[in-house]
Amino acid sequence: MDRAVIKFSSEDCGICHKMSFFDQKVVEELGLRFISVKMQDTEAYRKYRKILLTQYPDKSEMGWPTYLVCDTPEGEFKILGEVKGGHPKGDFRSRLQAVLAETN
């Protein structure tokens, strides 16, 4: 199973930057693939836009950053859950674990 966490963030977002010190490490420790999509990165954004717009059709409810947990992001994807906004490392880990627990 190809399960990944896609981080949608912005280059000028301070909280996104703070989270980047540990978010990828936590995601990989939980056995998931980490995909970083900065809104300014046209190519990456275009590739994963469909997933973001499925969850947030007009982007108004998304947080900075928004982490979407999904199966098969490059194919027939299925969004399993999300973590929005900035959190301390331990809290981020437990929020991700809660999403994973709901999907098993």
Angle CA(63)–CA(26)–CA(50) in degrees, nearest 5?
45
Q: How far is the C-alpha of 57 from the C-alpha of 18, rounded, in Å?
A: 27
pLDDT, residue 80, reads 96
Decide if pLDDT at 1 tops 70: no
The pTM for the full model equals 0.95
Residues 81, 51: contact at Cβ < 8 Å? no
pLDDT at site 75: 92
Q: Return the CATH number of 3-103, one of 3.40.30.10, 3.30.200.20, 3.40.50.2300, 3.30.420.40.
A: 3.40.30.10
Q: What distance in Å separates the CA atoms of residue 56 and residue 97, rounded to the nearest whole number?
A: 22
- Between 48 and 1, name the one with better pLDDT: 48
φ and ψ of 12, to 5 deg: -100, 25
The SS3 of residue 10 is coil
Parallel/antiparallel/unpaired status of strands 66-71 and 33-38: unpaired
pLDDT in tens, 46-85: 999 999 999 999 988 899 999 999 999 999 999 999 999 9
Report the 10 Å Cβ neighbour count for 48: 19
